[in-house]
Amino acid sequence: MRVAARLPGGLALALVLALALGSLAAVLARSEGLGRVTPADWAAVRFTLLQASLSAVLSTVLAVPVARALARRRFAGRGLMIAALGAPFILPVIVAVMGILSIFGRAGALNAALAALGLPELRVYGLQGILIAHLFLNLPLAVRMILNGWAAIPPERFRLAASLDLGPRDLWRLIEYPMLCATLPGAALAIFLVCLTSFTVILMMGGGPAATTLELAIYQAFRMEFDLGHAASLAALQMALSLAVALVSLMAFNPTAFGAGTGRRADAPPHAGRLALWLDVFWLCACGLFLALPLLTVLLAGLPFLPGLGASLWMAAGRSVLVALSATVLALALSLSIALLVTALPRAAGRVIDGLAMLALTTSPLVLGTGLFLILRPHLDPVAFALPIAALVNATMAMPFCLRILMPELTTLRTDYGRLSESLGLQGLTALRLVILPRLRRSMAFAGGLSAALAAGDLGAVALFADPQYPTLPMQVYALAGAYRSNAAAGASVLLMGLSFFLFRAIDQMGHRDADA
């Protein structure tokens, strides 16, 4: 298996590095240095860092009481609520923004209630709207990461605390607080990196020059002004920020020192008092309503108009499906090839290859798209290849997530079956077909569903140079919302949301049929 894994894995890694570093090189070659960056661009840098910092802090701080309530309470529907926390991650960002506007927008339910009470309206555009949208999208991710931290605490620690009659303060100081000190920095940095390259939220809720980020500035320089030198300078600055944050995240890793437990299933951590119960109920209900109301509003507003959508919207949906499926196939091929290479090499070399593959995380879709445009433009018309380029960009961005999903199971598979397969002469495609793929089927299906959902709802990669005559469904939703055709936009949003969840569910279910055969 080792020999067969190295060639396709090396080619896949070379392609990823060529896309990430080649795009960066093209951007830097066109860039005129920091002297080309204007004062307005530096203001965009400051606002980018401000909104990303506030979004990361708000998401992680508010996630702590929600995760704590889920960790120490057992109730009917708890598993469903934890599973539902993954929904915003695969929800198209543009649909999430439409739902948030339906609640917090000028004509939303909240402002209607404030007007009835004689109170001033909430202005959702600008920094406050961006923070609300990022909180909606990233709070579930923070909750899941922090909840995993609570689940990783050996249950023996809580039993020992109970036997010593430790109170809630001592429990917090000795067990929970050290875990949070190890978990929160990683969660905050992950969310900061996501918000640093946020595009659709800023595009729809930025509200003017005072709320412009680097991503939006790149889009404006490229799409509105067609100033490639300016766009290249901004893209280089964006890449430098992303790399700096990625390096900080690597240095900030701080493992806990609880020691090993017996590995038995964790009991619910002890809790005390009626006040703690009511606080947990409050945080769970508040989180549930905050996440559910925008989605329910989109569904209720859009379902009546879904049957009346025109043929152009259904054709746009077909293009989105084509992009999503193409990106999924390519992302799975890249991630599986690189994972096979990593696990076939010695540990030190494998970690180097793994780190190189994760460089794609530091490249924003707009930077990657800008670089590809600069590379392709002298030779062919990028607009004519907008959909294949969108699929390629989405596959590159999804590959690190797929790699992280496949690596643990493939590592175990190598340990359990590697020597046996070699002793039986099972190598190359035979080992892949008989040993590897059947046991990776569940993980590959989950990774594929995730990739398809993310690609179907993407607006950033295709927004740079897509042909307006052949739009994808997210582009249509954005155009309808910008033209104030609210009914059609609501119906198209429901279609896009249903399409993303259908692709995720359909591909994920492929891993549950004879997965262990």
Residue 210 per-residue DSSP state: G
Cα dihedral across residues 58, 84, 104, 98: positive or negative: positive
Q: Dihedral through CA 159, CA 163, CA 164, CA 168, nearest 10?
A: 60
**Furthest-apart CA pair in the chain: how many Å?**
79
Q: Rounded to an integer, what distance in angstroms lies between the CA atom of residue 229 and that of residue 75?
A: 57
Question: Tokens in use for 327?
Answer: 């990106």
Extents of the domains making up the chain: 31-256+269-302, 306-336+375-517
Q: Dihedral through CA 373, CA 401, CA 338, CA 245, nearest 10?
A: 70
Question: Tokens in use for 175?
Answer: 């067990």
Are 439 and 422 contacting, i.e. CB atoms less than 8 angstroms apart? Answer: no
| pLDDT tens for the 517 residues of the chain, in order | 445 457 787 888 888 888 888 887 887 777 766 667 788 888 888 999 999 999 999 999 999 999 888 888 878 888 778 877 877 777 888 888 888 888 888 777 888 888 888 888 778 888 888 999 999 989 988 888 788 777 767 666 666 666 666 666 767 777 777 878 877 887 888 788 888 888 888 888 876 677 788 888 888 887 777 777 787 788 778 878 877 876 776 565 554 444 444 444 445 555 566 777 888 889 999 998 998 888 888 888 888 888 888 888 899 899 999 999 999 999 999 988 888 888 777 777 777 887 778 777 777 777 787 788 888 888 877 777 888 888 888 898 888 888 877 877 777 766 655 555 555 555 655 666 556 677 778 888 888 888 898 888 888 777 776 677 788 888 888 888 777 787 888 888 889 988 998 998 888 888 766 544 4
Q: Is 133 exposed, middle or buried (0-12, 13-18, 19+ CB in 10 A)?
A: buried
SS3 state at 148? helix
Are 124 and 132 contacting, i.e. CB atoms less than 8 angstroms apart? Answer: yes
pTM for the model stands at 0.78
Contacts of 163 (CB under 8 A, 6+ apart): none
- Topology adopted by domain 31-256+269-302: MetI-like fold (1.10.3720)
Q: Mutual orientation of helices 177-196 and 39-72 as an angle, nearest 10°?
A: 140
Contacts of range 381-387, beta carbons closer than 8 Å, 24 or more positions apart: 382/465, 383/465, 383/466, 383/467, 384/467, 386/462, 386/465, 386/466, 386/467, 386/470, 387/319, 387/322, 387/323, 387/462, 387/466, 387/470, 387/472
Count the helix, strand and coil residues of the chain and give each as a percent rounded to the nearest 5: 80, 0, 20
Give me the pLDDT at residue 33, please: 64
pLDDT, tens digit, 9 for 90 and up, residues 9-37: 788 888 888 888 888 788 777 776 666 77
Q: Mutual orientation of helices 273-302 and 127-151 as an angle, nearest 10°?
A: 130
Q: Rounded to an integer, what distance in angstroms lies between the CA atom of residue 221 and that of residue 234?
A: 9
User: For the stretch 15-34, what's the b/e string if a residue is b when 16 or more beta carbons lie within 10 angstroms of its beta carbon?
Assistant: bbeebbebbbebbeebbeee
Contacts of 274 (CB under 8 A, 6+ apart): none
Give me the pLDDT at residue 438, please: 73
Are 232 and 370 contacting, i.e. CB atoms less than 8 angstroms apart? Answer: yes
DSSP track, 7-75: HHHHHHHHHHHHHHHHHHHHHHHH---GGG--HHHHHHHHHHHHHHHHHHHHHHHHHHHHHHHHHH---
